[in-house]
Amino acid sequence: MIRAGFSRKGDFIAPVFDISRHLRVVEAEDGRMKEQFDVVFNELIPSVVLLELKMHEIQVLVCGAVSRFMLWALESKGIHVIPFVSGEIDNVIKAWLEGNLLKGKFAMPGCKWRFRGMVQERRGQYGRGKGKGRAGGGGYGGRRGGQIGKNAPDYCVCPDCGYLEPHRQGIPCRNINCPKCGTLLIRK
């Protein structure tokens, strides 16, 4: 089971997560929605927002633009972020459930290059990039794409559709196919 948060403004993905007060929470299993509900942030202080996200057990956040600081803070708390997304919230949720969210149709206007770049950069972060990352070989994680820090989250993530599942000790993520799209998972 996975729980995702979709930053929203009205019936659409909010253009900027950092100043969005509304979140649609979707709990899904095997590509099917089990439950959904809305959360309202009373405070937009980053630490309070992070606390609320963790309280609601959010594992994936789908949003529009997000500041680098907030992106770092979210990922340091083990929340996988899918940024630069736009569109009607129901359509975005449906695409996420089907594993089609990262195909480009939902990229923010004017950000298709950023959307694609973020996906490529994130692949590099996990050691599957083309060696153009900040650490010199495989994105943020260095030449081998290792985890960052002692408290790095243990998840197996699909680099194509964003599917996420807890890592099981003794079973390398690279040996697991994504149940949504069939791509090999990578460890985060």
Helix (H) / strand (E) element for 22: namely: strand 22-29
Beta bridge partners, 36, equal 26
Q: Is the CB of residue 125 less than 8 Å from the CB of residue 147? A: no
Cα gap 103→179, rounded to integer Å:
17
The pLDDT of residue 27: 94
* Residue boundaries of the structural domains of the chain: 1-109, 111-147, 153-188
The pLDDT of residue 62: 94
Domain range 153-188, its CATH number among 2.20.28, 1.10.10, 3.40.50, 3.30.420: 2.20.28
The pLDDT of residue 104: 72
Decide: pTM greater than 0.95.
no
The pLDDT of residue 28: 92
Question: In tens digits, what is the pLDDT along the chain, a chain of 188 residues?
Answer: 899 999 999 999 999 999 999 999 999 988 889 999 999 998 888 888 999 999 999 999 999 999 988 998 898 888 999 999 999 999 999 999 988 887 778 888 776 545 444 544 444 443 333 444 444 333 333 333 444 444 445 778 887 777 888 887 778 888 888 888 888 888 77
Tell me whether the CATH fold assigned to 1-109 matches the one assigned to 153-188: no
Cα gap 139→64, rounded to integer Å:
22
Q: Which CATH class is domain 1-109?
A: alpha beta
The pLDDT of residue 22: 95
Q: Is the CB of residue 86 less than 8 Å from the CB of residue 105? A: no
